[in-house]
């Protein structure tokens, strides 16, 4: 049982965004890994895959491209190797040391089941098989994005993940399709395919006005940021500034953490790049630097510090 809470603890540290989150994540992941070779755990392929996905996510968050390809390959092998042991509905059982009566599933409303050797097992519900492989494609896309300008492989992974999402009908999948479109637009921006990025963004933002963007909706906010990026790259600097000055993309003085803070930092840095050559905006540029600098310095991803010094 220790491997499940260890995995969840690692996930919490990964999402926390604190200065020591990377170290805490590695400790939690290492603690979970120590149980991975136990006989009771080796048959639960979902747990091994979860740990590999978390390990890959950690490097994505902290910006360590030199390790991404190796960890991507490990994750892909875990996904392929666990095909037979992955149930279509995503459920899996974690055995305990206690014996169980024959009707334990009925008595616990399906929360527990009886294993083949008569032990009590707790039933967990995770991603369905199709969802898990779609997630694997998306993670592979992110891990290989640094080479996308050369081989476009990152976009190919993403398109395959999107196909799995759309083929597996589920009312909740519309949100996942939107996320795939957002990532595709980002990849096209990364290799300066501005027209392609704009086409994807037009599809993603259809019917959504800039003033109606929900700051809690990452896809909407990132689409607004990418729209500003496309405008900035194609010479529409005023249009880019209109996007970046949206309340969903501006930094606020005195607030240590904000919703979609990374996008706010990037939008602020882009605003500085646009305004810095103009003498009349020097005071405002200094104010923006004062807001962005401490956040970039404390960011777990060193790329933010590099971007600030540019």
Counts for the chain of helices (H) and strands (E), in that order: 16, 3
Looking at the DSSP assignment, which residues form a beta bridge with residue 124? 92
User: What torsion, rounded to 10 degrees, do the Cα atoms 229, 232, 236, 238 define?
Assistant: 90
Backbone angle region of 251, left / alpha / beta, with phi > 0 → left and psi within -120 to 50 → alpha: beta
pLDDT value for 172: 66
> What is the maximal distance between C-alpha atoms in the chain?
79
**Could you tell me which of 205, 208, 211, 251 has the C-alpha nearest to residue 226?**
205
pLDDT value for 85: 61
pLDDT value for 42: 64
74 vs 69: CA distance, rounded Å: 9
Name the packing angle between helices 45-62 and 3-16 (round to 10°): 20
108 vs 237: CA distance, rounded Å: 61
117 vs 133: CA distance, rounded Å: 31
Neighbours of 216 (CB within 10 A): 10
pLDDT less than 70: residues of the chain: 1, 17, 19, 36-43, 82-88, 168-172, 256
Q: Are 45 and 3 in contact (CB under 8 A)?
A: no
pLDDT value for 84: 58
**Could you tell me which of 96, 101, 90, 79 has the C-alpha nearest to residue 124?**
90
The answer, as to whether pTM is greater than 0.85, is no
Q: Which two three-digit tokens encode residue 289?
A: 């630097």
Burial degree of 75 (CB within 10 A; 0-12, 13-18, 19+) = buried
* 147 DSSP assignment: G
| Overall size of the chain counted in residues | 310
pLDDT value for 88: 67
CA distances from 188 to 119, 174, 250 (A): 52, 21, 24
Strands (E), the chain: 91-99, 112-114, 119-125
Backbone angle region of 12, left / alpha / beta, with phi > 0 → left and psi within -120 to 50 → alpha: alpha
The dihedral built from the CA positions of residue 163, 59, 12 and 74, taken in this order, carries a sign that is: positive
Name the packing angle between helices 173-190 and 194-204 (round to 10°): 160
pLDDT tens, residue by residue, 220-245? 999 999 999 999 999 999 999 999 99
Query: Which residues neighbour 159 within 8 Å (Cβ) at sequence distance 6 or greater?
Result: 184
């Amino acid at each position: 049982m220790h491997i499940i809470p260890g995995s969840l603890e690692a996930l919490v540290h990964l999402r926390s965004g604190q200065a020591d989150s990377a170290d805490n994540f590695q400790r939690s992941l290492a603690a979970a890994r120590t149980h991975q070779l136990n006989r009771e755990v080796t048959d639960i392929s979902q747990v091994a895959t979860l740990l590999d996905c978390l390990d890959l996510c950690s490097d994505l968050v902290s910006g360590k491209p030199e390790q991404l390809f190796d960890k991507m390959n490990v994750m892909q092998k875990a996904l392929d190797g666990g095909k037979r042991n992955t149930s279509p509905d995503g459920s899996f059982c974690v055995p305990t040391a206690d014996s169980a009566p024959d009707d334990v599933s009925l008595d616990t409303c399906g929360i527990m089941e009886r294993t083949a050797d008569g032990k009590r097992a707790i039933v967990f519900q995770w991603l369905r098989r199709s969802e898990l492989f779609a997630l694997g494609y998306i993670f592979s896309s992110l891990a290989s994005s640094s080479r996308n300008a050369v081989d476009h492989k990152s976009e190919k992974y993403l398109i395959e993940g999107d196909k799995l999402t759309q083929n597996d009908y589920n009312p909740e999948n519309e949100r996942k399709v939107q996320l795939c479109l957002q990532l595709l637009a980002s990849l096209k921006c990364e290799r300066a395919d501005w027209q392609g990025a704009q086409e994807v963004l037009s599809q993603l933002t259809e019917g959504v006005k800039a003033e109606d963007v929900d700051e809690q909706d990452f896809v909407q906010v990132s689409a607004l940021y990418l729209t500003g990026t496309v405008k900035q790259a194609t010479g529409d600097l005023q249009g880019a500034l209109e996007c970046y000055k949206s309340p969903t993309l501006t930094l606020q003085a005195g607030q240590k953490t904000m919703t979609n803070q990374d996008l706010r930092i990037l939008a602020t840095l882009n605003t500085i790049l646009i305004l810095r050559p103009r003498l009349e905006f020097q005071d405002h540029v200094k104010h923006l630097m004062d807001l962005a600098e401490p956040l970039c310095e404390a960011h777990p991803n060193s790329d933010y510090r590099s971007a600030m010094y540019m």
